[in-house]
């Protein structure tokens, strides 16, 4: 695969492109620093509302006109608010990319933010909050993140009902003007690409765009501890987290590989010990969440009330046992699984566009598939086991939802 191309425009916008020979499609990921962590503390939900509003007309075109123009070009698109960024994603036939770019970029640079669209957009955001009543797994994960990470990193993506209900167009437009800036924004494209023409086209479309968004400022200490929400259901939701290395740390691959031994596939330790051998739960997993400035291992299990305490006990025991070391067979299985996922990612233009955009933010540069595969191969058995011995899990943050609170037992 050809090298990844990079260009930074005078206004600070970073453009990345990964040509993928043999494909006819192109995919785009646009990140701009209007995520949940940059929201004013009394406007939680404004980022999610903005993500909904930018799809309702832009560049002087009405919502219907804008949507029909993208449909005529065969563009599949989405917009969502993440922790650090507002994200616009699109996939289309590569030959249509240059015609679609002004329509897609207008969503960020020139959204209408029309008054008649505010109430329908607000209603959809409030429905997301209402839907949490029927999604206890999502609720327990929101509670876990809010407790484990410091403000504003643990803020709920859906926002708060009272804040959304109070929002008017003025603060929405002010947030857009403050946060959607080229300084800190990343545009990544993968697939069928003409790089010189892409640089010229994006440069023309964004030449008048200016400014740099504020940096996210972490305030205070996270709550952490153990929290239980009483809910008279037959199911119990268990979520836990403990600190890990940030992704840019060169040792994070060792953490990632070890977590794959713990929970990647039906032969992983959690699946085998919690579900297969004991039949304790219908769902169990753990994953490494590596971020730019911090990291965590996050676990989840969904079970029934009579099995809940044993499920939590076995989960935490397996996490601690992991740090006694892994076997060569376990590590090789994790390595094969990780490299096979890289191969599949390499066949997806949307996956590659998203990956290189995330890399640019987290690592300061995009990484090729060959570089990622070499990093996986660098995680030898000796290195992984030495890392695990030197980095036992710290105190866990635990969140549960169910009829009765559970006991988090200390590891002896």
Does 102 fall in a domain? yes
Same domain, 298 and 392: yes
Flag whether pLDDT at 85 surpasses 80: yes
Same domain, 104 and 24: yes
Flag whether pLDDT at 160 surpasses 90: yes
Flag whether pLDDT at 138 surpasses 70: yes
Sheet holding 76-81, edge to edge: 5-8, 14-19, 186-191, 25-32, 86-93, 76-81
Flag whether pLDDT at 412 surpasses 50: no
pLDDT at residue number 232:
86
Residue indicated by tokens 């990345």: 16
| Mean pLDDT, rounded, of the chain | 96
What are 273-282's pLDDT values in tens digits? 999 999 999 8
Does 211 fall in a domain? no
Same domain, 187 and 271: no
Is pTM beyond 0.85? Reply is yes
pLDDT (average), residues 295-310: 96
Same domain, 158 and 44: yes
Does 311 fall in a domain? yes
pLDDT at residue number 283:
92
pLDDT at residue number 1:
60
Does 409 fall in a domain? no
- Of the pLDDT bands very low, low, confident and very high (cuts 50, 70, 90), residue 154 is very high
Same domain, 71 and 171: yes
Same domain, 361 and 296: yes
pLDDT at residue number 409:
84
What are 227-245's pLDDT values in tens digits? 999 998 889 999 999 999 9
pLDDT at residue number 265:
85
- 356-371: buried (b, 16+ CB within 10 Å) or exposed (e) per residue? bbbbbbbeeebbbbee
What are 283-294's pLDDT values in tens digits? 999 999 999 999
Does 220 fall in a domain? no
Same domain, 191 and 289: no
Same domain, 342 and 268: yes
Specify the CATH number for the domain of residue 387: 3.30.830.10
- If one counts every other C-beta atom within 10 angstroms of the C-beta of residue 317, the result is 14
Flag whether pLDDT at 190 surpasses 50: yes
- Of the pLDDT bands very low, low, confident and very high (cuts 50, 70, 90), residue 411 is low
Listed residues 206, 240, 271: the one ending a domain? 206
**Residue 259 near residue 388 (C-beta atoms within 8 A):** no
Q: Which domain holds residue 52?
A: 5-206
d(CA 178, CA 43): 14
Does 26 fall in a domain? yes
Same domain, 74 and 124: yes
Does 218 fall in a domain? no
Q: Are strands 295-304 and 14-19 parallel, antiparallel or unpaired?
A: unpaired
Same domain, 149 and 14: yes
d(CA 158, CA 299): 21
How many domains does the structure of the chain reveal?
A: 2
Does 264 fall in a domain? yes
What single string gives the DSSP state of each residue in 106-169?
HHHHSB---GGGHHHHHHHHHHHHHHGGG-HHHHHHHHHHHHHSPBTTT--TT--HHHHHH--H
Same domain, 159 and 293: no
Same domain, 148 and 247: no
């Amino acid at each position: 695969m050809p090298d990844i191309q990079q260009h930074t425009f005078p206004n600070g916008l970073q453009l990345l492109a990964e040509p993928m020979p043999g494909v006819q499609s192109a995919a785009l990921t646009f990140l701009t620093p209007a995520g949940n962590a940059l929201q004013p503390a009394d406007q939680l939900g404004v980022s999610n509302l903005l993500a909904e509003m930018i799809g309702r007309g832009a560049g002087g075109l009405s919502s219907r006109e804008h949507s029909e123009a993208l449909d005529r070009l065969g563009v599949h698109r989405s917009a969502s608010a993440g922790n650090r960024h507002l994200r616009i994603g699109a996939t289309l036939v590569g030959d249509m990319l240059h015609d679609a770019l002004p329509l897609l970029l207008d969503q960020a640079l020139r959204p209408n933010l029309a008054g008649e669209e505010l109430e329908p957009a607000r209603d959809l955001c409030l429905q997301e909050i209402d839907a949490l009543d029927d999604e206890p797994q999502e609720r327990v994960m929101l509670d876990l993140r809010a407790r484990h990470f410091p403000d504003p990193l643990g803020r709920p993506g859906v926002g708060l009902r009272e804040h959304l209900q109070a929002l008017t167009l003025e603060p929405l437009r002010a947030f857009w003007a403050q946060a959607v800036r080229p300084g800190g924004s990343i545009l990544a494209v993968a697939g069928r690409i003409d790089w010189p023409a892409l640089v010229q086209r994006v440069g023309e479309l964004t030449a008048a765009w200016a400014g740099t968004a504020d940096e996210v400022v972490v305030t205070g200490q996270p709550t952490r501890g153990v929290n239980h929400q009483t809910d008279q259901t037959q199911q119990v939701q268990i979520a836990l987290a403990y600190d890990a290395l940030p992704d840019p740390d060169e040792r994070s691959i060792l953490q990632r590989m070890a977590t794959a031994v713990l929970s990647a596939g039906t032969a992983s330790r959690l699946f085998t010990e919690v579900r297969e051998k004991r039949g304790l739960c219908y769902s169990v997993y753990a994953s490494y969440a590596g971020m730019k400035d911090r990291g965590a291992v996050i676990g989840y299990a969904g079970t029934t009330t009579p099995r809940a305490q044993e499920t939590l006990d076995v989960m935490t025991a397996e996490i601690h046992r992991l740090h006694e070391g892994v076997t060569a067979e376990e590590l090789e299985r994790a390595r094969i699984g990780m490299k096979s996922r890289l191969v599949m990612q390499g066949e997806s233009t949307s996956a590659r566009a998203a990956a290189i955009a995330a890399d640019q933010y987290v690592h300061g540069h995009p990484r090729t598939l060959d570089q990622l595969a070499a990093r996986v191969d660098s995680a030898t058995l000796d290195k992984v086991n030495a890392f695990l011995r030197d980095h036992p899990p710290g105190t866990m943050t635990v969140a549960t939802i169910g009829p009765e609170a559970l006991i988090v037992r200390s590891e002896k």
